[in-house]
Structure 1
Amino acid sequence: MTAPVLSRAPRTAVPATPHRPRRPARWVIGATVTVVVVLAFWSVDITWARLADLPSELVRYGWLMFSSPTWEKLPDALWQTWQSVQMAWVGTVLGILIATPLSLIAARGFGHAWLRAVLRFVFSTIRAVPEIIFAIIILSMTGLTPLTGALALAINGVGTLGKWGYEAVEAVPPGPIEAARAAGGSPVQVLRWGVWPQATPVFLSFWLYRFEINVRSSAVLGLIGVGGIGDMLTTYTQYREWSTVGMLLIVVIAVTMAIDGISGRIRRRIMEGARVR
């Protein structure tokens, strides 16, 4: 008798190790960025040896400003700070009134494609320009007044609030919107009943956050003479009255931190609701 022939299992082919993909575009971009950074450092006229003196100079000026602040100027500093807050508030309100309806139109599904493109381009262009540039342009019409700062903050706020607004509208769940449209609602009614109830907490949070930004920016706008605490900082820095400058910085930091803290708590309450004890 012949021995049975044992069948051998077929050998499975071992897959070849895939080659690492080549990404020449990534190398080109990395090399380009490196060259640009090196050229930027090389072309800037900076005395690098003076960087070693920076820590000691910071300590010296810190001592001049905060060792004995001039508290006699505190009433004037508080009044100018109040003007800065007013400037920020007016700029925020004007920005909200302009940006909110435009952001609703710029949202996908509520405006024509060409109109959305135009509005989004305008929002991007405004965001690319600092507030101080708008203030310098407005100076020729309104002069060195707090209104100039408020208008500059309002224009700049339109860019950020507009972008935040249409992104918030587009992030709304589609269920209520579809229900409003199925019921025969007009675009305005869909926005009123399908979008706004859900987007209101986000909009309120954005408005408060923009007010925080405007409070800080109003101090910077004061540097060009439109009033507020920044105007006092510029004046006393030019005369090198460091003790007064230190007192002004203390006021600015304290007021800004207080507004940020209050606004932050309000925003958390809006977004998260009341905490159950």
Structure 2
Amino acid sequence: MTAPVLADPRRTSAPAVPSRPRRRVRTVVAAAVTIVVILAFWSVDITWSRLADLPAELVRYGWLMFSSPTWEKLPDALWQTWQSVQMAWVGTVLGVIVATPLSLVAARGFGPAWLRSILRFVFSTIRAVPEIIFAIIILSMTGLTPLTGALALAVNGIGTLGKWGYEAVEAVPAGPIEAARAAGGSPAQVLRWGVWPQATPVFLSFWLYRFEINVRSSAVLGLIGVGGIGDMLTTYTQYREWSTVGMLLIVVIVVTMTIDGISGRIRRRIMEGARVR
């Protein structure tokens, strides 16, 4: 019986050392970003000496606004806030009506590739434009009315809800979809019975979240004169009636936080179900 041949440790090849990763691209990108940031600060006309006065100015204006708010204008502020909420609600509903069917078609596997590409490009383009730009374009046709703000919120919501929608459809488990197709269902039937029952909670959550965003955005749209609480804020800020501005800010904060809290609880209930006590 022959003895086993032992390997010579001197002839054993050493493990290959991985090559050191090249960081040239990362260094070039970091240098380019640094240069852009420096040029941006250098080109903007900023009086840097005034930054030291900023904390004191914030305290002074905070005292002017919140030391003695003008509560006599509260009824008018609540009415204007209600108009802003109505603007946000109408914009959300219109956005949902238009974006939901388009998002289903834009999902992978339910629409032709050319149409899917066009819809996704439209969604991306809409998201790149702020609501206030849409409002400025629309007001030339509808005038300075709350309808202008609602339409601007609706158009901007189409881009956001459309993207969220097709991503939610593509994240649905494939089992029910394959079962509906195996049963001979048409694309519309597959969407109705294989996709929609599973995606409904996600869609409802997205709609509520978009309503929260629109409530905050409606106050900003009021700055261009389409009505709502933002219109009052612009008017009293221009006249430097800081006590009234403080009261309006308190109303905006309280109403926005209340709507966010209620909507958040509803969304958690939809996504997580009732909590067992």
Normalised-by-shorter TM-score class: over 0.9
Match of 1:88 in 2: 88
Structure 2: gaps (5+ residues): none
Match of 2:109 in 1: 109
Counterpart-to-counterpart distance in 2, 1:72 and 1:240: 17
Deviation (angstroms), 1:16: 5.0
SS in 2 for 1:274: coil
Question: Structure 1 residues 43-52 or 214-223, which shifts more?
Answer: 43-52
Question: Structure 1 residues 11-20 or 102-111, which shifts more?
Answer: 11-20
Deviation (angstroms), 1:32: 1.0
1:132 aligns with 2:152: no
Structure 1 letter corresponding to 2:248 = L
Deviation (angstroms), 1:122: 0.2
Deviation (angstroms), 1:14: 2.8
1:226-269 deviations in Å (ceiling 9; x for gaps) = 00000000000000000000000000000000000000000000
Match of 1:4 in 2: none
Match of 2:166 in 1: 166
Match of 2:250 in 1: 250
Deviation (angstroms), 1:71: 0.2
Match of 1:177 in 2: 177
1:146-203 deviations in Å (ceiling 9; x for gaps) = 0000000000000000000000000000000000000000000000000000000000
Q: CA RMSD in A?
A: 1.4
Structure 1 letter corresponding to 2:120 = R
Deviation (angstroms), 1:39: 0.8
Deviation (angstroms), 1:221: 0.2
Alpha-carbon spacing, 1:115–1:8, altered in 2? closer, same or farther (3 Å): closer
Query: What TM-score does the superposition give when structure 1 sets the normalisation length?
Result: 0.96
Match of 2:239 in 1: 239
Counterpart-to-counterpart distance in 2, 1:141 and 1:13: 79
Deviation (angstroms), 1:27: 1.7
Deviation (angstroms), 1:41: 0.9
Counterpart-to-counterpart distance in 2, 1:8 and 1:143: 92
Alpha-carbon spacing, 1:14–1:216, altered in 2? closer, same or farther (3 Å): same
Deviation (angstroms), 1:8: 6.5
Query: What TM-score does the superposition give when structure 2 sets the normalisation length?
Result: 0.96
SS in 1 for 2:51: helix
Counterpart-to-counterpart distance in 1, 2:176 and 2:230: 47
In the alignment of these two chains, the number of paired residues is 273
Counterpart-to-counterpart distance in 1, 2:73 and 2:84: 17
Counterpart-to-counterpart distance in 1, 2:244 and 2:15: 76
SS in 1 for 2:19: coil
Match of 1:66 in 2: 66
Deviation (angstroms), 1:26: 1.6
Match of 2:224 in 1: 224
Deviation (angstroms), 1:126: 0.2
Match of 1:196 in 2: 196
Counterpart-to-counterpart distance in 2, 1:49 and 1:84: 39
Counterpart-to-counterpart distance in 2, 1:38 and 1:85: 41
Structure 2 letter corresponding to 1:10 = D
Counterpart-to-counterpart distance in 2, 1:103 and 1:13: 58
Counterpart-to-counterpart distance in 1, 2:30 and 2:77: 49
Counterpart-to-counterpart distance in 2, 1:33 and 1:17: 33
1:207-229 deviations in Å (ceiling 9; x for gaps) = 00000000000000000000000
Counterpart-to-counterpart distance in 2, 1:122 and 1:8: 69
Counterpart-to-counterpart distance in 2, 1:163 and 1:17: 45
